[in-house]
A and B are shown apart, each in its own frame.
Chain A
Amino acid sequence: MTDAAANSPVTAMPPKQRSMWGDVWRSYRRHPGAMAGTAVFLLILLAVVFGPYIHTVDPGKLDIRAKNITMSLDHPMGTDNLGRDMLAQVLAGGRTSLAVGITAMLLSMLVGAAVGILAGYFRRIDGALMRVTDLFLALPLLPLLLVITMLFRDTLRAAIGPESGIFVLIVFIIGITSWMNTARIVRGEVLTLKEREFVLAARSIGTRNHRILTRHILPNVLSPIMVSATLGIANAIITESALSFLGLGFPSDFPTWGRLLFDGANFMTLTPSRVIWPGLAISLTVLSVNFMGDGLRDALDPRIRGR
């Protein structure tokens, strides 16, 4: 019997199979802004990951004789006041900035999705979790981030090491303060999902809660999480740059885009390129990620996708 079912003619299937993700991809591809954003973002990602292997100048190498020069063949983005090569610094800074952005986004999505799913699914803890979310939304984030980095920076740097210490601190505080919107959106989705028939069916055959959550709820809330994730990267990159720009993020010997802007701001009149390149890098990354988020939102929205 089962063999017969398995061997039943496949020709009955429609010639071209359409899946939901295929539809989403087709719709995403038609969004010019999203495609341009994806292309630019991939380009920046590739440049930052593989660039240092092509442009093999050490970003920390001092060359006082070649200080403050503008664009040249040796130094395509010029050098700073200590003769460090700007292109190498922008590439190295991009690695840190993107790494912070992506890790902080992952942390924030993890917390946001967990809080949202638990609050939406289990009524008992809904009230408490949502009060905590409201509380976090009412915190003045930028001042608090500044205070926390300032106060805990030295201790963590002493404990884990100068570079990983500040990385862990910044990723942690950005992740822990940006999950609230995701949690709210996910909770809303879960609240409607758990009343649907397929969840009822799953429960009626005795599926346990954690199986329902991982098997039925989680795949269905993936699309709002994905949209939040793209916007989360943009938000994390901006926040990290803002902290570094105020002189309270990464230290100066460990370049990030925000730190380069902060250091370059004092030499703006002499070498404006020191401000323009890192600023352009931040802006282009955030812009491309935001366009990707826009395209993704349109592609994942079934009411718009049909059109």
Chain B
Amino acid sequence: MLTFTIRRLLLAIPTLLAISFIIFAILDLSPGDPTSQIPLTVPPEVREHIRTSLGLDEPFIVRYLLWLKQFFINEPLNILEEWTGYTFGDGDRLRISSWATRSPVVDLIVERLPQTLWVVGMSYVVGALIAIPIGVISAYKQYSWFDQVGTFVSMIGFSVPTFFTGLLLIVIFAVNLQWLPSIYDTTLRVTDWSSFVAQIKQMIMPTMVLALYNASQISRFMRASMLDNLNQDYVRTARAKGMKEKTVVLVHVLRNSLIPVVTVIALGVPQVFGGAIITEQIFKVNGLGQLLIIGIQGADIPLVQTLTFIFAVLIVLFNLVADILYGVLDPRIRYD
């Protein structure tokens, strides 16, 4: 298992390098120019000076390697310094800085991360908590009315795009009923009971939109996995031993059915970050997704490069996590 993990980790390095190269190349080959936003009255020599100060006069490969060094060496060292308080080397390293704000990209990301993690993380947990019982009951009572309704609702859940459910919820709950705020207020600090209630209220809609979408996907996997297991011989054996039906279903079958579902949940985490881009845009949550959109609209290439690459790192990382989890949870699977 350890050798497998190490081998997969080593394999992830060329994958990530290839992805970083693709992302860098796409952004670099694009016809857009960061100085195109600057008014035409600015003289060409000043424009050229701005380009030089942004480091654009270097050849492509130099800029790519520089970015790699900044991303893989300088930024992790900086984070390490902040955590431990030690200073490595002279402590004065070139960081990836945003063209629009001139501040380090990593600081911007750290600033936005909590909002995204709260909304996305909460929605994923809520989604899984809704999905698993529904999947279990649907499979146990296959073709019952509960199953029929559950399957239909989950079909609707993953067919209706989140940007429509989000707007629909806003129309119903924020505009017509006026129960919940339609905009997520990030400046809200939870200090007492009323601000806590306000925080919960503003989190309900963005969380539920994503949670319903995730729940409908997970519950389909859960149902299929339960159905696979319910007909297995070990279930008949357990029943023949005289175990209670509850023990058979909730201990024996559920545990075995959760194995593929857990890996599906792990694989879905990066996609949820992607889906959060849309949800954040609807509810005006200033998280990572909104940062990306702002960066794209402002042609802030270092910010977009770094953020897109972080999404890629998440995908590779969670693929790895899913593979390892599969091996840990299911002793029948041996990677050698």
Q: Are A269 and B167 in contact (CB under 8 A)?
A: no
CA distance A137 to B316 in the complex (A): 9
Q: When each residue 132-162 of chain B gets 1 if its CB lies under 8 Å from chain A and 0 otherwise, what string results?
A: 0000000000000000000010011011110
Q: Are B164 and A135 in contact (CB under 8 A)?
A: no
Taking the closest CB of chain A, its distance from the CB of B220, in whole angstroms, is 10
- For B276, give the chain A residue with the smallest CB separation: A142
Most buried by B among A142, A150, A238, A272: A142
Q: Are B163 and A241 in contact (CB under 8 A)?
A: yes
Task: List the one stretch of A22-30, A55-63, A283-291 in contact with chain B.
Answer: A283-291
- A261 and B163 contact, Cβ closer than 8 Å, known pairs A147-B27, A246-B278: yes
Q: Are B167 and A152 in contact (CB under 8 A)?
A: no
Q: Are B296 and A287 in contact (CB under 8 A)?
A: no
Is B319 an interface position by the 8 A CB rule? yes
Taking the closest CB of chain A, its distance from the CB of B186, in whole angstroms, is 20
Q: Are B308 and A261 in contact (CB under 8 A)?
A: no
- For A144, give the chain B residue with the smallest CB separation: B308
Is A138 an interface position by the 8 A CB rule? yes
- A143 and B307 contact, Cβ closer than 8 Å, known pairs A148-B26, A245-B278, A261-B164: yes
CA distance A294 to B220 in the complex (A): 12
Is A82 an interface position by the 8 A CB rule? no
Residues A236-294 near B (CB distance < 8 A): 238, 241-242, 245-246, 248, 258, 261, 265, 268-269, 272, 275-276, 279-280, 282-283, 286-287, 290-291, 294
Is A15 an interface position by the 8 A CB rule? no
Q: When each residue 261-294 of chain B gets 1 if its CB lies under 8 Å from chain A and 0 otherwise, what string results?
A: 0000000001000110110011000000000110
Residues B21-48 near A (CB distance < 8 A): 22-23, 26-27, 30-32
Secondary structure call for the B interface = helix
- Across the interface, which residues of B come within 8 angstroms of A139, CB to CB? 19, 22, 312, 315
- A150 and B161 contact, Cβ closer than 8 Å, known pairs A138-B315, A139-B22: no
- Across the interface, which residues of A come within 8 angstroms of B23, CB to CB? 144
Q: Are B171 and A135 in contact (CB under 8 A)?
A: no
Is B5 an interface position by the 8 A CB rule? no
Q: Are A286 and B296 in contact (CB under 8 A)?
A: no
- Across the interface, which residues of B come within 8 angstroms of A287, CB to CB? 155-156, 159-160
Taking the closest CB of chain B, its distance from the CB of A173, in whole angstroms, is 11
Residues B293-321 near A (CB distance < 8 A): 293, 296-297, 299, 304, 307-308, 311-312, 314-316, 319
- A275 and B171 contact, Cβ closer than 8 Å, known pairs A135-B15, A290-B155: yes
CA distance A152 to B29 in the complex (A): 10
Q: Are A261 and B274 in contact (CB under 8 A)?
A: no
Q: When each residue 130-144 of chain A gets 1 if its CB lies under 8 Å from chain B and 0 otherwise, what string results?
A: 000011011111111
Residue numbers of A with Cβ under 8 A of B are 33, 134-135, 137-144, 146-148, 150-152, 154-155, 234, 238, 241-242, 245-246, 248, 258, 261, 265, 268-269, 272, 275-276, 279-280, 282-283, 286-287, 290-291, 294
